[in-house]
């Protein structure tokens, strides 16, 4: 049994209103020096050894990310 992490982030060219809202809130609580925030999703997945890398990529691209607007990365052994 191993842990796999899938990170899903909005593509660079996609507006990220949630991240922008965080930047504005940072200013209000007195934190300067933050130029950009992007908000995405993190999935922590417990898999057994029967699940291949190809299967994980398929899960990430079809089920976890909307690849029209989001990029993903599959990180094993984090």
Which residues sit at the interface with a second copy, rule CB under 8 A? 1, 7-9, 19, 22, 25-26, 29, 31-51, 55, 58-59, 62-64
Give the nearest distance from C-beta 73 to a second copy in angstroms.
10
Q: Which is nearer to a second copy, 46 or 68 (CB)?
A: 46
53: which 2 tokens? 């890398």
Give the nearest distance from C-beta 29 to a second copy in angstroms.
7
Give the nearest distance from C-beta 19 to a second copy in angstroms.
8
Q: Which is nearer to a second copy, 13 or 36 (CB)?
A: 36
Q: What are phi and psi of 69, to 5 degrees?
A: -120, -5
CA gyration radius, the chain: 16
Is the Cβ–Cβ distance between 70 and 13 less than 8 Å? no
Residue with tokens 């029967």: 50
Is the Cβ–Cβ distance between 65 and 26 less than 8 Å? no
């Amino acid at each position: 049994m191993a842990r796999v992490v899938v990170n899903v982030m909005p593509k660079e060219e996609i507006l990220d209103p949630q991240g922008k809202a965080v930047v504005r809130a940072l200013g209000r609580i007195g934190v300067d020096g933050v130029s950009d925030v992007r908000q995405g999703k993190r999935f922590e997945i417990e898999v057994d050894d029967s699940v291949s890398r190809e299967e994980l990529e398929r899960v990430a691209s079809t089920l976890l990310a909307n690849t029209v607007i989001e990029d993903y990365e599959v990180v094993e052994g984090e």
